[in-house]
């Protein structure tokens, strides 16, 4: 390991507290921590000799055990972690020694190369191996096990890493250590550096994980002035993009200008001109409502207008079942299904038969599914083409189980085509349907709703069912809430709890939370379905949570920790966040999972529970889908995940698309139900404690809900209903107020 100062002078003899920049290189033994968003890493590295392992902290695009890294930085003594090397620049390098080269190849750095192929390649070519990949790649075919397909994969992977290294060097030369070089390369290709030089602000628009401040730092480094029109326009769009990531669609113009002023610190005249230019270019749309001007990102304006058009078109068509005796049909359906509907449920079925477009909303236990089942049993409807859909795979599966008909996710219903990266179903190729029923509609954001509605034929009926009091969609907009508040769509609000559900403390407490009331507790010797376990410190909550998930619930309720129990937490970070709890639960529940694949700072083993964190249309796996790792191939650097009985294959380089799922955030649980839910709750979660968050968490549990934590945090969350509605224009547009 090389640890000499760059100027060649020994460290001994320097004045105390003064350190020169040093260069440190070695092999990564362990990735202690890696954050794929920021690239911040804590690595244990060693060289090929007998030096002890040292700790290196810094930012890097990606890293795996076995890779060689080079760091420029200084030694420091950290109060908590001891002596460590703090890297200002940290990058993966090609090693020079024979053993180092073999470890580099075997690390999974190159797609398709594992330990066995690495050994064969080194035996054949020794230290010339990298030069052969670079200049004479046809010779790769001489190695047993490498055919044309694998050869192309290895060469492409090698060139990709070389290009990424150049981008990293370019970015670091401008004072920015980014973790997104690979994504930059995939978006801009060989022209990456030229594209950044022409408009560095495009990074914040095009590359996930690169914000405006990072792009701004590069821009200033290459000489773009602080008050340049390019910077002002980019900042204006960035403010709107940030607000859309919080769920907003439109922003009052004064609010937008004020936020841009705070971000950019440049004169109002420059900002106002920038806004005019962005509007003229069509990137921002400004609309007038009364005396107020509102600003949208173009795609969100188009999405809202598309939803308005879709709602009006569907509502204005003819009923697919024609005219029928509604009262008699409802009575016969009750008799046929042997269900006695409540007054509100009968009204819901009656309205569904009388309206092209209907919203059914209500909390748990009020019988939304019973209404759908009853409706489907009416002969005039039964003989028609009915499509059932929901935003998530789990919600679609529940809908199928409840109705006995196939339920599909919206993405599958619209037939996403990976070749064109678009849906096959649209206004030009509509769905073949007479009735479309959408469950968990509160989860649908304005962009997805704008893709669904045009694909529904004009003469088909549409029923949207959902709980408007749950958390709003992850994406922009609040479509279900806006449709209800617009007053332009018929709505059935169900409030009466079914008799068989009224005895459930889960359902009673969910409704009590929604009303801001205190929670009921289980009393008596028998088993209940809701428990609150008092705990006063984060360490105690963690200890009790692991014990309850691993021992108490399985022993007392006969539920399996892997298949039946889901930990839901308000936050991702912190001692009671999903990241920290996953480490604890993985060790306790699958500590003997055998040899693991470590990637992006997380170790995955056979039997681990994982969650997909982005939509992958090619694999047909979507954000929020939970699966179990069923097999790992260390030689090929692959693993297989079982999603609802379907095997899906991942390369190690794709593992940034997933995360451990022993514990997930409450937001990620939307649209899903689990036999048992365990919820840690602490004042550490203070920023997130809101009524609709707790309400959503409670309604995810089917047989059992356990809350472990502080009484004070629970009271605060139930009493806090301060979240302001999302800034959208859909309700006003439906009323015809927007120009």
Least Cα distance to 1 among 115, 97, 120, 76 occurs for: 97
The domain spanning residue 87 has which CATH number? 2.40.50.140
Q: Is the pLDDT of residue 137 over 70?
A: yes
Q: What is the pLDDT of residues 570-622, one digit of tens each?
A: 998 889 999 999 999 999 998 766 778 877 668 888 999 999 988 787 888 88
CA–CA distance, 229 with 238 (Å, rounded to integer): 14
pLDDT at residue 676 in the model: 96
Q: For residues 212 and 501, which has the higher predicted lDDT (pLDDT)?
A: 212
Q: How far is CA 243 from CA 159, 236, 252, 295, 475, in A?
A: 38, 11, 12, 11, 11
pLDDT at 551 over 90: yes
555-567 mean pLDDT: 94
- What average pLDDT does the chain have? 86
Q: Which residue has the higher pLDDT, 594 or 245?
A: 245
> What's the predicted TM-score (pTM) here?
0.76
Query: Can you tell me the distance from the alpha carbon of 696 to that of 701, in angstroms, rounded to the nearest whole number?
Result: 10
Domain-located, residue 268:
no
Residues 188-206 have a mean pLDDT of: 87
CB 202 within 8 A of CB 219: no
116 or 660, greater pLDDT: 660
User: Do 652 and 708 have their domain in common?
Assistant: yes
Q: How confident is the model at residue 280 (pLDDT cuts 50, 70, 90)?
A: very high
What is the pLDDT averaged over residues 717-731? Answer: 82
> 14 pLDDT exceeds 50?
no
Is residue 676 located within the same domain as residue 698?
A: yes
Q: Give the residue from 496, 520, 539 where a domain finishes.
A: 496
Do 535 and 629 fall into the same domain? yes
Q: What is the mean pLDDT of residues 98-117?
A: 80
Write the Ramachandran bin of 483: left for phi over 0, alpha for psi from -120 to 50, otherwise beta.
alpha
334 and 432 together in one domain: yes
Residue 573: the pLDDT is 86
Q: Total domain count for the chain?
A: 3
Does residue 367 form part of some domain? yes
Of 20 and 570, the structure prediction assigns the larger pLDDT to: 570
User: Contact 44/608 with Cβ under 8 angstroms?
Assistant: no
DSSP 550: I
| pLDDT, greater one: 536 or 489 | 489
Q: How many helices (H) and strands (E) would you count in the chain?
A: 28, 28
Whether 628 is in a domain gets the answer yes
Distances (CA, A) of 61 to 89, 91, 216, 256: 11, 8, 20, 33
* Three-state DSSP class for residue 423: strand
Q: What is the rounded CA–CA span in Å between residue 95 and residue 365?
A: 63
385 annotated ligand binder: no
Are 476 and 578 members of one domain? no
List the CATH number of the domain containing 377. 3.40.50.300
> What pLDDT does residue 1 have?
46
| Rounded distance between C-alpha atoms, residue 15 and residue 18, angstroms | 6
Tell me: is residue 366 an annotated ligand-binding position: yes
Domain boundary pick from 46, 71, 93 = 93
Q: Looking at the structure, do residues 433 and 527 belong to the same domain, yes or no? A: no
Separation of alpha carbons 181 and 161, rounded Å: 10
Is it the case that residue 96 has pLDDT exceeding 80? Answer: no
Domain check: are 327 and 410 in the same one? yes
Least confident range from 11-25, 440-454, 465-479, 703-717: namely 11-25
pLDDT of 416-427, one tens digit each? 887 787 899 999
Q: Say which residues have a Cβ less than 8 Å from residue 631's Cβ, sequence separation at least 6.
A: 606, 639, 640
DSSP 165: H
* Residue 108 belongs to some domain of the structure: no
Weakest mean pLDDT among 71-75, 140-144, 608-612, 613-617: 613-617
Kindly state the average pLDDT of the residues 227-249: 92
Q: How far apart are CA 168 and CA 172, in angstroms?
A: 6
Q: What is the pLDDT of residue 501?
A: 66
> Within 10 A of 522 (CB to CB), how many other CB atoms are there?
12
Residue 400, burial from CB neighbour count under 10 angstroms (0-12, 13-18, 19+): middle
DSSP at 6: T
Is there a domain that residue 594 lies in? Answer: yes
What do you get for the CA distance between the two ends of the chain, in Å?
Answer: 68
Q: Which of the two residues, 272 and 363, has the higher pLDDT score?
A: 272
Residue 734 has pLDDT above 50, yes or no: yes
Query: How large is the average pLDDT for residues 463-487?
Result: 92
Tally of CB atoms within 10 A around 423: 19
User: Dihedral sign, CA of 578, 582, 588, 590?
Assistant: positive
Q: Is residue 444 scored above 50 in pLDDT?
A: yes
* Per-residue pLDDT at 178: 54
Return the structure tokens found at 557.
Answer: 């309720």
Same domain for 648 and 532: yes
CB atoms within 10 A of CB 28: 23
Q: How far is it, in rounded angstroms, from Cα 536 to Cα 138?
A: 65
Q: Which residues contact 523 (CB under 8 A, 6 or more apart)?
A: none
Q: Is 648 helix (H, G, I), strand (E, B) or coil?
A: strand
Question: Other C-beta atoms within 10 Å of 160: how many?
Answer: 16
Adjacency order of strands within the sheet including 250-252 = 250-252, 292-297, 284-289
> Highest mean pLDDT: which of 391-395, 495-499, 532-536, 600-604?
532-536
Say if 130 falls within a structural domain. no
Are 458 and 322 in a shared domain? yes
Say whether both 415 and 489 belong to one domain.
yes
Whether the predicted pLDDT of 653 surpasses 80:
no
Please give the full DSSP string across 83-117, using - where no structure is assigned. Answer: EEEEEEEEEEE---SHHHHHHHHHTT-STT--HHH
Among 431, 458, 461, CA closest to 324 = 461
- List residues bridging with 602 in a β-sheet: 599
CB 156 within 8 A of CB 68: no
The answer to whether residue 435 scores a pLDDT higher than 90 is yes
Helix or strand holding residue 628 (H, E): strand 626-633
249 contacts: CB under 8 Å, gap ≥ 6: 296, 300, 301, 303, 304, 446, 476, 477, 726, 727, 728, 729, 730
Residue 211 has pLDDT above 90, yes or no: no
Does residue 509 share a domain with residue 472?
no
Q: Is 553 in the same domain as 639?
A: yes
Residue 588 located in a structural domain: yes
Lowest mean pLDDT among 42-51, 289-298, 465-474, 487-496: 42-51
Ligand-binding annotation for 369, yes or no, is yes
Structural domain that includes position 707: 502-719
DSSP letter, residue 661: -
Most confident of 414-423, 467-476, 616-625, 658-667: 658-667
State the pLDDT confidence band at 415, using cuts at 50, 70 and 90: very high
- Would you say 175 is a known binding-site residue? no
Q: Determine which helix (DSSP H) or strand (DSSP E) holds 603, and give its type and residue range.
A: strand 602-604
Q: So what's the pLDDT on residue 421?
A: 79
Structure confidence at residue 722 as a pLDDT band (50, 70, 90):
low
Residue where one domain finishes, among candidates 53, 69, 93: 93
Q: How far, in Å, CA of 363 to CA of 514, rounded? A: 9
Residue 171 lies in a domain: no
368 in a labelled binding site: yes
Look at residue 63 and tell me whether its pLDDT is greater than 90.
no
Looking at residue 723, what is its pLDDT? 56
């Amino acid at each position: 390991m090389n640890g000499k100062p760059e100027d060649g002078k020994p460290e001994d003899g320097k004045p105390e507290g003064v350190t020169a920049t040093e260069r440190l290189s070695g092999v990564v033994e362990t990735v202690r921590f890696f954050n794929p968003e920021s690239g911040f890493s804590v690595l244990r590295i060693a060289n090929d000799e007998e030096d002890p392992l040292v700790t290196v902290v810094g930012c890097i695009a990606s890293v795996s055990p076995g890779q060689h890294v080079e760091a420029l930085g200084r030694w420091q003594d950290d109060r908590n972690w001891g002596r460590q090397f703090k890297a200002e620049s940290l990058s993966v390098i090609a090693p020079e020694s024979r053993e180092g080269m073999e470890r580099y190849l075997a690390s999974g750095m190159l797609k398709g190369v594992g330990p066995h192929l690495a050994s064969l390649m080194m035996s054949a070519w020794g230290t010339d191996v990298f030069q052969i990949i670079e200049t004479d790649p046809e010779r790769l075919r001489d190695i047993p096990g490498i055919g044309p397909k694998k050869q192309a994969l290895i060469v492409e992977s090698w060139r990709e890493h070389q290009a990424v290294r150049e981008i990293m060097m370019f970015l670091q030369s401008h004072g920015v250590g980014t973790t997104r070089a690979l994504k930059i390369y995939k978006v801009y290709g060989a022209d990456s550096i030229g594209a950044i030089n022409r408009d560095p602000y495009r990074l914040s628009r095009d590359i996930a994980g690169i914000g405006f401040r990072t792009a701004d730092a590069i821009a200033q480094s290459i000489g773009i002035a602080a008050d340049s029109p390019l910077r002002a326009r980019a900042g204006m769009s960035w403010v709107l993009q940030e607000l859309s990531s919080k769920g907003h669609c439109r922003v009052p113009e004064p609010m937008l200008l004020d936020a841009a002023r705070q971000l950019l610190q440049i004169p109002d005249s420059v900002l106002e001109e920038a806004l005019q230019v962005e509007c003229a270019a069509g990137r921002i749309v400004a609309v007038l409502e009364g005396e107020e001007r509102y600003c949208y990102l173009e795609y969100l304006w188009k999405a809202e207008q598309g939803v308005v058009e879709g709602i009006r078109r569907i509502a204005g068509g003819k009923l697919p079942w024609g005219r029928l005796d509604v009262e008699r049909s409802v009575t016969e359906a009750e008799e046929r299904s042997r269900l006695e509907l409540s007054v509100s449920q009968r009204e819901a079925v009656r309205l569904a038969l009388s309206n092209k477009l209907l919203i059914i909303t209500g909390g748990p236990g009020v019988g939304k599914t019973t209404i759908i089942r009853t409706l489907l049993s009416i002969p005039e409807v039964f003989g028609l083409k009915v499509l059932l859909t929901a935003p998530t795979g789990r919600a679609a599966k529940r809908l199928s189980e409840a109705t006995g008909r196939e339920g599909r996710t919206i993405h599958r219903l619209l037939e996403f085509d990976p070749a064109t990266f678009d849906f096959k179903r649209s206004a030009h190729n509509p769905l073949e349907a007479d009735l479309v029923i959408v469950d968990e509609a509160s989860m649908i954001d304005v962009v997805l709703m704008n893709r669904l509605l045009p694909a529904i034929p004009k003469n088909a009926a549409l029923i949207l069912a959902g709980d408007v009091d749950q958390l709003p969609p992850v994406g922009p907009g609040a479509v279900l809430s806006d449709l209800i508040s617009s007053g332009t769509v018929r709505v059935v609000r169900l409030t009466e709890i079914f008799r068989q559900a009224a005895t459930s403390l889960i359902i009673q407490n969910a409704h009590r939370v929604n009303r801001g009331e205190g929670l009921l507790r289980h009393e008596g010797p028998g088993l209940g379905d809701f428990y609150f376990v008092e705990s006063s410190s984060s360490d105690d909550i963690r200890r009790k949570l692991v014990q309850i998930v691993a021992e108490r619930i399985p022993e007392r309720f006969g539920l399996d920790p892997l298949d039946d129990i889901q930990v839901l937490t308000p936050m991702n970070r912190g001692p009671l966040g999903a990241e920290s709890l996953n480490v604890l639960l993985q060790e306790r529940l699958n500590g003997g999972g055998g040899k693991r694949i470590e990637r992006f700072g997380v170790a995955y083993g056979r039997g681990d529970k994982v969650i997909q964190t982005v939509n992958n249309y090619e694999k047909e796996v979507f954000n929020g889908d939970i699966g179990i790792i069923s097999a790992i191939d260390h030689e090929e650097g692959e693993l297989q995940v079982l999603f609802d009985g379907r095997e899906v294959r991942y390369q190690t380089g794709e593992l940034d698309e997933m995360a451990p799922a022993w514990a997930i955030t409450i937001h990620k649980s939307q649209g899903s139900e689990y036999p048992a839910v365990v919820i840690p709750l602490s004042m550490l979660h203070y920023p997130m404690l809101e009524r609709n968050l707790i309400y959503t968490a409670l309604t995810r549990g089917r047989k059992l809900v356990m809350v472990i934590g502080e009484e004070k945090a629970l009271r605060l969350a139930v009493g806090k209903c301060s979240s302001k509605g999302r800034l959208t224009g859909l309700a006003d547009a439906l009323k015809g107020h927007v120009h």
